Structure 1
Amino acid sequence: MSKTLKIYVGLLILLFVGIIAIEFSTPAPINWQKTYNETQKIPYGTFVFYEELTNLFPESKVQEIKVTPYEYFDDYYNWEDSTYLTTGTYIVVDEYPDLDNTSAQELLDFASHGNDIFISSNYFPDRLLDSLGFDTKNEFTFKGKAEFTFTNPVFKSDSISVEKGLNNIYFSKIDTLNTTVLGHQKFDDATYTNFIEVPWGSGYFYLHVQPVVFTNYHLLKKDNRKYASSVLSYLSDDTLYFDSRNKFRKELGSSPMRFVLSRPALRWAWYIALLTTILFMIFNAKRRQRIVNVKEPLKNTTVDFTKTIGNLYYETKDHDNLIEKKITYFLEYIRRVYYLDTQILDDKFVKNLSLKSGKDKEYIKKLINQIVYLKAKSNCNEANLLQLNKAIEDFYTT
């Protein structure tokens, strides 16, 4: 190896080492995604909130729920005397919790036996909306920071101001005869309800519409933890059932066969069916006729091209662009099929679309609210895209 070549090789190695050193010394970018995951220490995780539960409730046991509320509490229901074999408080903090109407009914039953339910979320199942007599609304004129206060004068000093990560949602309707307003949120000069207590049977529902105040970012900022502490002070000092955000990824899995494989009888039936199919294929593999020449038809590359373009947008993480296109194509479909003007997406539009499409008005309202919310939102994430895509596909197929 010549001297010149050795110099070039040495410079190349130094350059390579320098690049590696710079790469490892560069701090990782902050993840601002709203995961509400109790195991994550990112700004919008709930690690601090989950860890502080044992300090706020020193006499209570914290039990993680890694299945749906229906699956968990139904196992504790005694059908002989119609009672639950456990007591406590169910807690979930998430913008879009995994609560369907079946789980919502289970929570109603659990509360009726003298237990508490705490839900801090932007959207609630229809079963809760109907049973507890409340509704929520998005007000997209809200800007800037908001002041969160309590109606109880004891907690007057626990009010806080929040600016980052807020949602423009509030309780637009409540059952004034049975519901107690516990807190408000104030944007500029407008004050709206954001925290209520609703009795149900022998228990209570505590409903809150700003889950962002329980994230790491806000709990560690100034004295914001005092607000969370005051909110949770309404809950009884009993076992806390914390709804984990990791249920599907860790224990249940995402396989559509998870229910079949979780039951011994169904699991063995599935294995026997697979074995029978394999044996059938082996013993019928012998050809029964002469080989027929296969003529390949002309390949239609339109679908492949569409998939390639779609994957390109998806891989580049350009979620805002994809969401904009999904909304644009969906609104064009509404104009073309139902002959509706999509310039103003208000309650009148929701009513007309529900009448023309024959779909449930509440379902249409939730879909349109989601579209309006995402049109106004910047820096959408993958979860927003998947939720919008599912909602639109459900509209097409149901």
Structure 2
Amino acid sequence: MSETFLPELPQELWRAGKLELAHGVLQFLQMMRIASAGLGRYLAEVESRGAKDLYGYGSTAAWFADVAGLSRGEASPIVSQAIALNPTRALDGTEIPAVAPATGAAAAEGAIGEQRIKQILEILARIPTDVSVEDRECAEKTLADLARDAGPRQVSKLGDNLLAWLDPDGNEPKDPEPKQPSREVTLERRKDGFWTLNGLLDDELGARTAAALEAYAAPPPIDESGQADIRTKAERQGDAWAELLDLAVACPDQPGTNGYRTLIHVTIGLEELKTGLGTACVDFIGTMTAREARMAACDCLMLPVVMNAAGEPLDVGRLKRFVTPAQRRALNIRDRGCAFPSCHRRPRNCHAHHIDHWADGGPTDLRNLVLLCGFHHRLIHHGDWQVRMAADGLPEFIPPQYLDPLQRARRNTLHRATA
């Protein structure tokens, strides 16, 4: 990145002539645009590496909202624009090209600002998906070149002309709506390892589902430390869905589980298990990072298959319960719910987390265990928060430096205040 400097302000601005005023405005305008483009490159890099692995947040937008003091609604468009203007990388390291590279180049020079960028991206979003890559790239470059010197009306008119050329027939007529089924759910695994869940519920089942999700997706209250749940409603409902599945699996009458919270088969290299770096095969159908495997192994039934560097099984472990029912009852009494500061989740919605992981030799006893809900369990494993056991035998949490430079220990006083 080239070194840039802010223009000097006259000591008495009211004495500046009209040319000096105009020159100062243009200089600062260009600097603002260049700074915004530079911020976008940083956000695109965070997106490439993964906000979960870097900071423990579910998305780059959620992390940026917390760091910048913005709402999620304010942060999301900034991150989306950064990803559109800059190349990123997929989980396997392959490069994902920018949607609007020419626009990104013009923004990096300070030639165009926020309004023209947004206008160009909106026009590109209207281009049909069956248009060739070459035509799409040509259209984007034409818009970016014009936006350097033109105003919104010229860009809008060019956009209309390009769309008329690329899609002369307009949108295809929609097929008639199919007959609505009563209940329908589909679950499909995508190539990137995520799963897509779609469904159509009748009124009665939809109301029951909504009531259950709302009950478990309610954000916790803000405590005296000022922490707030920055997850979107969709993210909170996703975590609520995970909690409902945990409760269903833990039911003694659930087929195939015998009442255990989780049963997973994990195939992982010995070094990956110890370091948390790399990937693991889960239940022979998908992959997760080694760090996620370490988190899943905190409170589950696990059948580990540890491999050496040559891919040969070193050990096929016995089915083992890492936290006994008696220890779980003692944890429930001590922590009374998720121990993370300000979290209101009750014990039945929590996992038993090993402070020093059992793969690193940490013991499975109460001095090394703490109750955490799914959201805060991931935050501890993937983020910069730390948990330790205080002298009085209760857990306390150390925030990252970017949230509290003094890193003062915090506790959850909510459960004990309402007990």
Q: TM-score, normalised by structure 2?
A: 0.19
TM-score, scaled relative to structure 1: 0.20
**Which structure exhibits the higher relative contact order, with contacts defined as CA atoms closer than 8 Å and separated by 6 or more residues?**
1
